[in-house]
Amino acid sequence: MPNLNTAEKNFLNQITQLVEENISNEQFGVSELADAVGMSRSNLLRKIKKITDLSASQFIRNVRLKYAVELLQEGSDTVSEVSYKVGFGSPSYFIKCFRELYGYPPGEIGNQEEPEEEQEQEIETEQDLKAPMQKKKFPVLLISIFFITICAVVLFFVLRPDTQNSNKVKSIAVLPFLNDSNDTSNVYIINGLMEATLNNLQQIQDLRVISRTSVEQYRNNPKSSPEIARELNATYLIEGSGQKIGDQILLNIQLIEAETDKHLWSQQYRRETKDIFTLQADVAKNIAEQIEAIVTPEETQRIEKKPTSNLAAYDLFLKGLDLHRNPTDENLLESISYFKKAIQQDNEFARAYAGVAISFYFLDRGRTVKQYADSINYYADQALFFDAKLPQSLTAKALFYIEHNEYELALPYLEKALEISPNSDVVLIFLVEIYVNYLPNTEKYLEYALKGLEIKNVAAYDSAAKSISYLHLSNAFIQSGFINEAEKYINISLSYQPENLYSQYVKAFIQYAKNQDMNELNKALLAIFEKDKTRLDVLQEVAKSYYYLRDFETAAIYYKAFVDVREQYNLNINQSENGKIAVTFDITGQKELSEKYFDQYRLYAENDPSIYSNISLAFYYSYQGDTDKAIEYLEAFSLEDNFTYWTILFTPIEPLTDNLREHPQYKKVFHEIENKFDAYHKRIEKSLQGKGLL
């Protein structure tokens, strides 16, 4: 390696060895590597970037992929097994990264020449590491926007439906099954058959399956099939009815082409109760076959897998599941009782263990003092032990981490669950919540907001739910720099719920993005605050607008009211605002308060697990006058991806950065940040334009 000196080679060898020692640990990332090598995160980022011209996360990923090549060449493991062995939480993401690096999928490893860099005995140089990607620029671009493209396809079909049968979107709504018997005690079995059909279809990647919450309102609804289909944006409807007579299950299924109300296929199934699992699998496979959906061997295997071999256990589970559909505290506790009884019948019943864990989570949700954390963990672990690829097992474990605010640990489980069940609205709801509130990631937020809109079909919801759904989509678009699209969807949100104050002030910020008139933003926020002076979030935004206007005397009044309420009720919210609060109190002569909030801001920035830690520290050291240190942190932030459009809009007018803007390197570094955001925005824009959406 002629371009590297001995110290650099030794350093690369050292960090490569550390990654290899933790190769199967998907949680071993940049922070963990920095701790292991005894460096700060920012210094590690800079050093790896300098030597390899790669980000630290890219470097770690490439080491994992090199090791994957060795395992694949041995031929003893499948691609999925190798992906988990080298620390990828998702086989599909592993395949994507592998193709980006080597130019072909891992499944073709035996048909390709050995990757050139694998023949080297030393760590790759910058050119070696990047060469495979440079040779495949166009395919890499396509792969890198794969998930966003999928989301774009969703809206494409919603906004411009096809008229050719061969090109119809395979969009299915499974309507609530009807009980044909006068015996209402067996309703839970019919509901269970509907739920199983829905769950099985949700696991087929080639389908868009409307969520159960969207279709439930049509249980006793007299609307026609075309009306229901229009409201749900569904191409096909599944209607079902059945009854249990002794040891026999009689089930009638109809497949309807929604647009024409034409019955394309119907089937009557008569099976013994002991064959209920075969019945459920056959229904899903037959439906997929009729609409010519692609069902992979893995999907078929998952559909055909029996949840338990004990029919008594399954009967108890269905009773618990029926109660879980209406999750009041009383129903949740009763459902847990049934799930536990099912486990007594079959102590390896993963779905029942997951049901207990998920029910306990919803009992604890919203409570300050958590009562069931240990129980959630125990039952989730049991579910994973008996079926680590069951979406409910993975979701249950994710909820344990969410219960403890460990969102980074929850993500791999949710991503795996979504990979296995790509139409799961429950998983998407948690992913959107994490990526918008706890681990901000604009690209993921937009991706999952679009995907959620696809399968939830908000047209079937009440006005408040519609308003919130379109608010999320608008917020996702503006964070990615799509001003016109954000304005479009925020207006839709407000049309459903004009009194939604959150939508009102998001619209105010969208208007600021259009005209960058801070006085207008300030007036809009004041008008919103006058409507409800109990809204702490709006109070804080009003204070911030005065802060940006550099009217620090007025900002201090609002910030003082904000922090008084926050401390009175011991609310751990908006800690990122403490820097602005400290500046405001400093300039208005309240030095003791200023020092207090600067200390809190520094501690927050140092411990912030999100991508914004470095820019927060840059702001802190800028105001303290240590601009060299501030520029180091800003340079480290410039290596990050998926930051919000607000970073570009507000950093240039941020009072915390007054000193930093005098640094000779500031313009260059901030220009790099602007360029990175612009490239990210254009990448997504190109994808959406390719589908006729922009």
Residue-wise pLDDT for 117-167, tens only, equals 433 333 333 333 333 333 333 233 222 333 333 333 333 333 333 333 334
> Strand (E) positions, 444-500?
none
Closest by CA to 519, choosing from 508, 530, 528, is 508
Q: What is the pLDDT of residues 285-327, one digit of tens each?
A: 999 888 888 888 888 888 999 999 999 999 999 999 999 888 8
Q: What is the pTM of this model?
A: 0.57
How many whole angstroms separate alpha carbon 426 and alpha carbon 416? 13
Q: Between β-strands 208-209 and 178-179, what pairing exists: parallel, antiparallel or unpaired?
A: unpaired
Q: Measured between alpha carbons, how far is residue 485 from residues 178, 457, 466, 492 in Å?
A: 41, 18, 17, 11
How many whole angstroms separate alpha carbon 636 and alpha carbon 197? 49
Which uninterrupted H or E stretch holds 209? strand 208-209
Q: Give all domains of the chain, ordered by start, each with its CATH number.
A: 6-144 (1.10.10.60), 165-304 (3.40.50.10610), 311-421 (1.25.40.10), 464-686 (1.25.40.10)
How many whole angstroms separate alpha carbon 426 and alpha carbon 414? 10
How many Å separate Cα 393 from the centre of its chain? Answer: 17
56 falls in which pLDDT band (50, 70, 90)?
Answer: confident
Cα torsion through 604, 653, 669, 12, rounded to 10: 10
How many whole angstroms separate alpha carbon 541 and alpha carbon 40? 33
pLDDT top residue among 169 and 450: 450
User: Helices marked H in 305-441 — which ranges?
Assistant: 311-324, 329-345, 350-364, 373-386, 391-403, 407-420, 425-437
Say if residue 105's pLDDT is above 60.
Answer: yes
Angle (CA) 494-499-503 rounded to 5° is 50
User: Helices marked H in 212-328 — which ranges?
Assistant: 212-215, 225-232, 276-290, 297-304, 311-324
Which uninterrupted H or E stretch holds 84? helix 79-85
Q: What is the pLDDT of residues 463-509, one digit of tens each?
A: 666 787 788 889 889 988 999 989 999 999 899 889 889 999 999 99
Say if residue 634's pLDDT is above 50.
Answer: yes
Which uninterrupted H or E stretch holds 487? helix 483-496
How many whole angstroms separate alpha carbon 12 and alpha carbon 507? 48
Q: What is the pLDDT of residues 531-567, one digit of tens each?
A: 998 889 899 999 999 999 999 999 999 999 999 999 8
How many other CB atoms sit within 10 Å of the CB of residue 551? 14
Q: Which two tokens stand for residue 366?
A: 């919203």
Residue 143's pLDDT is 27
How many whole angstroms separate alpha carbon 255 and alpha carbon 267? 9
Residue 690's pLDDT is 58
How many whole angstroms separate alpha carbon 581 and alpha carbon 601? 9
Angle (CA) 139-142-143 rounded to 5° is 90
Q: What residues form DSSP beta bridges with 244?
A: 249
Say if residue 665's pLDDT is above 90.
Answer: yes
How many whole angstroms separate alpha carbon 152 and alpha carbon 380? 34
Answer for the pair 212, 148: CB distance below 8 angstroms, yes or no. Answer: no
How many whole angstroms separate alpha carbon 70 and alpha carbon 72? 6
